[in-house]
Amino acid sequence: MRSLFRRRPGAVPALLLCVVAGLAQAASIANPWNGLPLWWLQLLSLGGLVWLLERADTPRQAALRGWLFASAWLTGTFWWLFISMHTYGGLPAPLTVLAVGGLAMALALIYALACGVFKALAPVHPALRAIVFASSWMLAELARGQWFTGFPWGAGGYAQLDGLALFARYVGVYGVGWIAALVAACVVLRQWLPLLAVGLLAGAALAVRLPPSDPAAVLPVTLLQGNIPQDEKFEMGAGVPVALNWYGEQLAQARTPLVVAPETAIPMLPQQLPAGYWPGLLQRFASGGQTALVGVPLGNARDGYLNAVVGLQPGSPKPYEYAKHHLVPFGEFIPPLFKWFTEMMKIPLGDFNRGAVGQPSLAVAGQRLAPNICYEDLFGEELGARFIDPAQAPTIFVNVSNIGWFGNSLAIDQHLSISRMRTLEFERPMLRATNTGATAIIDYRGQVTQALPRLTRDVLVGEVEGRGLNAASGWRITPYAWWVARGGLWPLWGLGLLVWLLAWRTRR
């Protein structure tokens, strides 16, 4: 039996196994039947990759296997880009397939490099090889998440929400991915001492006692989900009047201290709205005790445009504004040399200005609300910039999104998992108001407490408990929030590169 396990697979079966393992990794991020992550499947898929890399004859062969694994994984993770580019963007189907596949295969080159370096540097001792593999994998994840504006969607750590994510408050999603890769490699290489260490650390993490609930920090909220069809959303004769009427009515009728409308809920610039519409909204929230956060584009042709959230509340000389910082390539800004590509797609407002990192929070009923727009909650290191001063750190995150671009796909489930991971990293709740889903309230432990059915026009009225307002507990923030606010992701880069350096010196 042992000899069968050690037998090297032939070239063709090995390549097919790489693809199968990669697709398993994609399914572990959000499985196709209910959209939930599967932590054990992610470990199994990474273990399969380690087994295949161990049986590669050369670093070049290991790189090829890593590239096939990552190409299958990434394609299976964000295949839904096809919907936005073809169905709503009007890009011809063959060109869309090439674009989505080309993006996945280009990003997979990073993982190919990581696997090749792992094979070249792998020490003789199996436990050290496991550490080198985990560090190589983390460096690849970091590179994908930061190079060329970054696109870390579907990072392996998100599959661990119900598994190893108990470490998120210490090391963030990339650190969770490192631990998962280490566990998978140790199982394959049959190294039990590192697994015992991970188990002991997990026990210590579970023993940490969080501050008790504070009834005074509970904030009633209203979240709006308009479910405006994406192919009608910016059409003056279709989705625009529907959005203006429905959101206008719900904003007028809301009774909670906070009401939130999703990204571009108002799909026109304020100066382009029907006469009296925008002044009416300003007047509605100019008195009383209510605050509204509304997604609306801002700007003009001379100064440029912003994808923004506007806060309307009494006592403010002018509305609060949050401008999206992390823009979507091709959807919100045009990369150099790609204007021809964006012109082939019928996506409106395709070139925005960037907002700053660490913009001020919005004070509501004693809470500090930190908005983020669309996939900005994918970049925990940028959200962490607001925690440099714990006494002014956010107590509640608010994400406003429009995932209608991707239809009724796993993108909705994956985005919900991303928000859940941020709540675990920072131990702050997240409110999500979206056009088509998932509109939800997530508590500071990463649990969805209330949610609306996707693809419905509905209103969610609920409560959220802000965290971090108790001065007696030292304005509590997580270890991850502390170090990422000061060093970004450089501590993880340093750890991975140090392991590479030590492995190189050991090989010499």
Average pLDDT over all residues of the chain: 91
Q: Which pLDDT score, from 0 to 100, does residue 211 have?
A: 78
Residues of the chain with CATH 3.60.110.10: 215-475
pLDDT of 331 reads: 62
pLDDT in tens, 92-146: 999 999 999 999 999 999 999 999 999 999 888 899 999 999 999 999 999 999 9
CATH fold of 215-475 reads: Nitrilase/N-carbamoyl-D-aminoacid amidohydrolase (3.60.110)
For 190-242, what is each residue's pLDDT tens digit?
A: 999 999 999 999 998 888 877 777 777 899 999 999 999 998 998 888 899 99
- Could you give the residue ranges of the DSSP H alpha helices within 300-426? 339-343, 380-383, 410-426
Whether residue 3 has pLDDT greater than 50: no
C-alpha of 111 from chain center: 20
Mean pLDDT across the stretch 318-327? 91
Q: Which residues are catalytic?
A: 263, 324, 374
Is residue 44 pLDDT above 60, yes or no? yes
More confident residue, 267 or 471: 267
**Whole-model pTM?**
0.93
Sheet of 218-225: strand order equals 320-323, 304-312, 291-300, 258-260, 218-225, 458-465
Residue 2, pLDDT > 60, answer no
Distances in Å between the Cα of 398 and the Cα atoms of 158, 362, 370, 469 are 19, 10, 6, 17
Structure confidence at residue 349 (pLDDT) = 47
**CB–CB of 170/479 below 8 Å?**
yes
